[in-house]
Amino acid sequence: MILALETSCDETAAALVEEDGTIRSSVVSSQADLHARYGGVVPEVASRRHLELVVPVIREALEQGNASLDDVTRIGVTRGPGLIGALLVGLSAAKALAWARRLPLAPVDHLHGHVASLFLEPGPVDPPFLCLLASGGHTLLLDVQAHDGFRVLGTTLDDAAGEAFDKGARLLGLGYPGGAAIDRLAREGEPTAYDFPRARVPGLDFSFSGVKTALLYTVRDLTPKELERRRADLAASYQRAIVGALVDRTRAAAEETGAGRIAVVGGVAANSELRAALPDAALAPLELCTDNAAMIGSAARFVEPVAYPQYLALDAYATSS
Amino acid sequence: MGRGLVLAFDTATEVAASALVDDGEVLGERTSRAVTLLEDVDALLRQAGARPADLGGLAVGTGPGSFTGVRIGLATARGLALALDLGVAGVSTLAALAAGAPGALPVIDARRREVFVADPAPRALAPDALELEPGTVCVGDGAVRYRATLEAAGAEIPPDDDERHVLRARFHAALATAFGPAELVEPIYVRIPDADRALR
Ligand SMILES: [Zn+2]
């Protein structure tokens, strides 16, 4: 059984995952409320909270999984990419656990973790497939041919899709996190009310800075009263532009690679318009779409584990090389 | 005291210090960087012919120092404590430095042109704002870095290679008295996050 830890951004998470992909337990302590007052994730605030929560979430995962550390045969942990100070909390705790118990350690790439959320029981989705990974930190198109990795086909040149939702929500006065708030309000609005631009970048890459700027200018030109009246239309049109860009590129990538199947992972997979626009896409359950440790445990099954004592000097990395 | 084998470490400053102490007898002491701390720990136990399960307690430096460094030490201590069911004692990095240099004032580099000192509670201030009795001996990486400023204020700073500037984890072990639940050992950050300052 794998004990997995995830502390790359603002969720402190631990999970127990069996070798066959069955989740024994998955505990996620979200810091969203903590960061709401800043309007976004503050790395130092997140790192401090991870230190407070990392052992409590491990204890909780063991308790919920009706297991003890004696049942754990391997430690899986997110090594990057993410907030370096946050990653180092989870990695330090994971190394300490592994060293004390003489267990092998599986260092997991966070993006691989998101993809591997699809490999969990029940109803795993097996490669090959084309994967759209869209979250607050990432927007990527991945060609997934095997369980142990992927090829990057496209990425965002500026903001991540989830970040664009958060920034848009802030412009519309909707609070943080913004994805769910925009999704909710957009249902009451007219998606064609405003013609926000979709980025024209070559290839399979994304750009969301243009649509964000367009929203900024539009909001700035409205009186508070007008903004109040048009808020739902703005949310619907803004969402349409972002989701449209995601869907266009995903379909183009599927065509280019001849992928028979499309999968969507990451927090933005919760967006109802995106789900409706890609009806045949494979989706992980919502609680596995946002950051969690079960997906890290899942990826750990396919990573070459590092034996004691080779991992003792292992460092975290902030960005993918 | 019967604590037996105590593993002590401190990763708050640039140089990570670790030591293995058996009922007051120092079995080994090492220095490296925070991220390679466990390599040192592993080597210390191997040299002593000990296994992780033989440990009787942990003494960990709680800062002040680099935020990330302090957290690496505490996250490591909490992970070890959970895995081995060990009690943990927190020792201020300033107190450990002071224990290695009797009579001296420990000064830790706090970056941003500030230093950490115990006053008596730890705080951060600009080196030239430090009020010193003439002839006060200052030790630590902050004393070395701001030698000119501190000497101008009347301090005496030992040569850069004087060992009193170096944090040694044997002193954490010596100062560790109350071993308790790891979660109760809290980091000494001194500073609040910049984002909180901005909100005020
Ligand atoms: Zn993520």
CATH at residue B31: 3.30.420.40
Q: Inform me whether the C-beta atom of residue B52 falls under 8 Å from chain A C-beta atoms.
A: yes
Q: Inform me whether the C-beta atom of residue B184 falls under 8 Å from chain A C-beta atoms.
A: no
Number of helices (H), then strands (E), in chain B: 7, 10
Superfamily of segment(s) A129-260 = ATPase, nucleotide binding domain (3.30.420.40)
Per-residue pLDDT, averaged over A149-174, amounts to 94
Q: Is residue B197 part of a domain?
A: no
- Count of residues in chain A: 321
Q: Is residue B105 part of a domain?
A: yes
Count of C-beta atoms within a 10 Å radius of residue A56 = 15
- Note whether A125 and A263 are within 8 A (CB): yes
Give this prediction's pTM. Answer: 0.95
pLDDT digits (tens, 9 = 90+) for B142-169: 999 999 999 999 999 999 999 999 999 9
Residue A101 CA to ligand 1 centre (angstroms): 28
pLDDT digits (tens, 9 = 90+) for B77-88: 999 999 999 999
Cα separations (Å) of A319 from A8, A78, A207, A251, B27? Answer: 11, 12, 19, 27, 40
pLDDT band at A177 (very low <50, low <70, confident <90, very high): confident
Residue A32 CA to ligand 1 centre (angstroms): 14
Q: Provide the 8-state DSSP code for B54.
A: G
Residue B152 CA to ligand 1 centre (angstroms): 51
Q: How many domains does chain B have?
A: 2
pLDDT at A240: 96
Has residue B137 got a pLDDT over 80? yes
Per-residue pLDDT, averaged over B92-111, amounts to 97
Q: Do B38 and A313 touch (CB under 8 A)?
A: yes
pLDDT band at B1 (very low <50, low <70, confident <90, very high): very low
Q: Do A89 and B75 touch (CB under 8 A)?
A: yes
pLDDT at A321: 64
Structural domain range at position B66:
5-92+168-188
Return d(Cα A285, Cα B158) in angstroms, integer: 62
Q: Which residue type occupies B146? A: Y
Are B58 and B108 members of one domain?
no
Cis omega (within 30 of 0) for bond into B158:
no
Q: Is residue B200 part of a domain?
A: no
Q: Do A88 and B41 touch (CB under 8 A)?
A: no
Closest residue in B to A90 (Cα–Cα)? B75
ipTM of the prediction:
0.96
- Residue to substitute from A12, A42, A51, A314, interface B, most B β-carbons within 10 A: A51
Q: Which residues contact B111 (CB under 8 A, 6 or more apart)?
A: B66
- Note whether A297 and A119 are within 8 A (CB): no
pLDDT digits (tens, 9 = 90+) for B184-194: 999 999 999 98
Q: Are A2-122+289-313 and A129-260 in the same CATH fold?
A: yes
Place of tokens 């296994």: B51
CATH code of A2-122+289-313, in short, is 3.30.420.40
Q: Is residue B16 part of a domain?
A: yes
- Residue to substitute from A3, A37, A83, A95, interface B, most B β-carbons within 10 A: A95
pLDDT at B181: 96
Closest residue in A to B51 (Cα–Cα)? A100
Are B41 and B77 members of one domain?
yes
Are B16 and B106 members of one domain?
no
pLDDT digits (tens, 9 = 90+) for B7-43: 999 999 999 999 999 999 999 999 999 999 999 999 9
Domain boundaries, chain A: 2-122+289-313, 129-260
Residue B73 CA to ligand 1 centre (angstroms): 26
